[in-house]
Structure formats: structure tokens, C-alpha cells
Structure 1
Amino acid sequence: MPYISVFDVLGPNMIGPSSSHTAGAASIACLARKMISGRIKKVEFILYGSFAKTYRGHGTDRALLGGIMGFATDDKRIPDSFSIARQRGLLFSFAVNERETEVHPNTVDIVMTNELGRRMTIRGESLGGGKIRITRINNVEVDFTGEYSTVIVIHRDKPGVVAHITRCLSDENVNIAFMKLFREEKGKLAYSIVESDGQLTEHVSGEIKKNKYVQDVMLVNLQGGTDGSRL
């Protein structure tokens, strides 16, 4: 059996009522926000399963919107996230998908559009006790938790790219905790996701981008703040 700590039982510091439906939702959205550059102008939340059935009563909608604005799970502004979003000029909407049933019951797709018109879709699952998992970036299936600082490299699936990524991290003395490669199919778009124990810097991102097959690099640091940057 997996190890369960007392903190998993008690749940995270949060604005209630539910660690799955509010804290988990806020964490998913907050993590998604760090994965797109610039200011988010528009966001759509597509809800599945239990999220779809109870999102209004459990405050999942307010938690998701608060998270996309960078609010932590215990931020007292979460109950007022609708009015705060409107004040900030953030366009938002919620939709329910009852057709797709082969998903985790607490699943949300977050469709973000930034000020430059770039669009990104993140799928997240709330696993209970405030724990989450990201399972899709755009159309590529992935798997990471956000419990570590993470570098996400979007690149062509070509020989030598993964070695280049690990060399850049090694040169910066970054200790790799986990590394996974996800791809659409052989030779096409791939996502290399590296979770590390320490903070990641823009210098690492710049070095990784020097490879001609690398399209984008996203840095998600655990202690990176909530100003909308990907640090």
C-alpha cells in the first residue's frame, strides 16, 4: 500500500468545503496558469464527472477561477473570485461534459488564451486530500503531479534531444527526481517532463532552447510566486 501521512488524512490548508472539489481544483488551475506565458485574457473550464454535478454547490467554480488568478488553496479571496475576475477583465466560462465518462470523476479541462492569442488546454484530476495530477497538455497525454519543480520541454521527437535536456540540467547542477517522455507518435511532437528537487532558472530554459528541435520550454517552480510568469 502507498504511504499515507497524517497530512493526507487531515487535508491541506484551504478554503472549504472539500479538499477534492475546492483545494484540488484551485491547485490544478494554479498549476495550469504557470504553464502559459503572459497574462491570461480568457479561460474556459470544462467539467467532468463529480465536478460537473456539484461544481456550484461545492465551490469548485470559484476555486478554479481563483486558482487561475494565482490564489493559493487557503486564499480568502476565493469566495469572491467571480467579482475579482470581472474587475481584472478576465473572461471566464464553465461548461459541463456528460458524454465523456471514461475519466477520473474529478476532472477538468482548462482552456486558456493569453494576451497574445496563444491557446493552451490543460487537463487535471483532483485525487483527494488536495493532491492533483496533470494528465494532458493540449492533445498529448502526460502524467505529473506538480509536487516538484518541473521543466516541460515541447520538442520534435528526434534523437539527441533528451540527452541535450539532461546535459543542460546537469550543467546547472539540477538534481533530477523524475523524467518522462510523452509523444503524439514517433518522430512528431513530444513533451519531456523533468521534475527536480530544486529551483529552475531562466538560464536553464535558454540553454535548452538552443536545440533546433525544441519549440518551447515551460518552467514551473514550487516557490515561484503568482504573478503569472512561468517561474
Structure 2
Amino acid sequence: DLIMVIYLLGLARFVLALAGLDTGAPFGGLGGSREMFFHFITEVCLFFLLAALALQWDTVNVRILFTLHTENWGNIVVQPQFLLLGLSFFIIILFENGRIPIDNPDTHLELTMGQRAITLEFSGPDLALIEWAEMIKFGFLLTLFIHLFLPLPLITLFIEPANQIGYQLGLLLDYLIKLLILIFALAIWEVHRPKLRLRQVVRPGLIAIVLSVMAIVYIVATALFEIKGIS
């Protein structure tokens, strides 16, 4: 379920921070401490996001959530709580992967580095494994975002579910199209958006937390009004 996902992300950050400390280089410890601070912010936000989804659907099972969001895609893309949660989760993706404006994965200034400060002392297969793991995590989070907050059909809108092979291929094409659009949009964003100053890095995280809390308040208020209307 999503609780396990949150703790697996935390475990990955923790192991990476330990790897930075193990190098003995001062920048490794600096990068490790920043990584754990970034994850603290994202973990708080993820738990609020998890609470909002649990209140909305009464479950945190990933497979059930994917099914519910796919079946109700028309409501997902227009209801305020999902728009707030989607924006919050996208900010979490930037935090978890050290993207601009949180961090700059291509920077060469050690004092401004986040995760890259950890990998300065690594090379060869070890560095390749770290880079590979980061790419996998980035792809996983984008996939989670697509299935939770962009479930609208594209190709499958014109394919009958009875045609199982065609429908499955349509689902795959839908996913690839959405993934390419997100990556392209993120690339344009990073070209035109500079990295934040270190003192301002917390702001997007706080905005993500506020957005998740607003979604929870909206869900609870809507439920209370519905109960009051029934009574």
C-alpha cells in the first residue's frame, strides 16, 4: 500500500545518506544532511496526501486506488481536492529527485549541492548504480502521479474494452504519451526556472503541505455537508 511506498522512499534516502557519510569526505556529510532534511519535508507532505486519499476512498491500497481513479477519471481531473493533491504530489516529485528549483542535478558548486554532494566521491559501477536507482525512482513517482492524478483515457477512449489486446496496447500507449508529456513539461520548466537559494528551498515543501491540508479540509467539509443534508 501507499504507507509501504512512503517508508521505502525514506529507506532509500537513508541508505544514500549513509553512503555519503561513509566516504569520509566533508561534502558527503553535507549532502547527506540536506537529503534527509528534504525527505523530512516530503514525508510530512506524503502523510497528509495519504490521509486525504484515505478519507476520500477509505483505502490506501495502491491497486484499489488506481482502479477507483481510472473508473472515476471524469471527476478526478476537475474536483478541487484532486487538483490540490496533484499539485502537492508534483512538488514532492521535485523534492524527492533533486530537481529544479529544489536542487540542480547538474551543478558544479559543492556548497550548493544536495544529493550530488553525496556522489562526488563515487565513480564507476557504484556511481552508475546510484544514478540508475535515481532514474528508477523518478520514473516510479511519475508513474504514480499519472495513475493517481492523470487517469483520463487518450487512445483507450476510442477502443472497446471487449478488444482485450487492443485495449491493453491502448493503455500502454496512454501511459507512454502522458509520461513523455510530463518529462517534456519538466524539461521546459527546468530550462526557464532557476534554482532557489538554500534559505528558500523550504518554501515549495511548505506550499505542498498546505495544499494537502487544504484538500483534507475540503474532503471533510464536503462529507459533513452531505451528512447534514441527509439528516
| Higher-strand-fraction structure | 1
The structure richer in helix per residue is 2
TM-score under structure 2 normalisation? 0.26
Bigger relative CO (Cα 8 Å, ≥ 6 apart): 2
Q: Which has the larger radius of gyration?
A: 2
